[in-house]
Amino acid sequence: MIQVTRDPVQVANKLEDLNAKTNSGRGSSVCRSVIAELRRNDVAGAIAIASLDYDKVRQYPDMAALFKEVGLLADRPMMD
């Protein structure tokens, strides 16, 4: 089982800050969904969303790097 390497609320706060700066301030709907799951302490749900919609996240390199850094993504050798 993949585990988020930090407190889920702390990760959500960091993602929220980054999301506010992404896509001309509009952010990413995937990131908003992941944030919502983390705020509910549903790490498994956040990981599922992040992994399923990684193709949308990777268009924002800073966000993709943070997802990987905190453990929201399984190893994705075919995607990178």
Convert the pLDDT of each residue in 14-26 to its tens digit. Answer: 999 999 999 888 9
Residues 16-75 have pLDDT tens digits of 999 999 988 899 999 999 999 999 999 999 999 999 999 999 999 999 999 988 888 865
**Structure tokens belonging to residue 24:** 């001309």
- Give the structural domain span for 25: 8-69
In a domain, 77, yes or no: no
**Domain count for the chain:** 1
- Evaluate whether residue 80 is within a structural domain: no
Angle CA 47–2–62, to nearest 5 = 55
Does residue 28 sit within a domain? yes
Is 23 strand, coil or helix? coil
Predicted model pTM: 0.84
Query: Does residue 13 lie in a domain region?
Result: yes
Report the residue count for the chain: 80
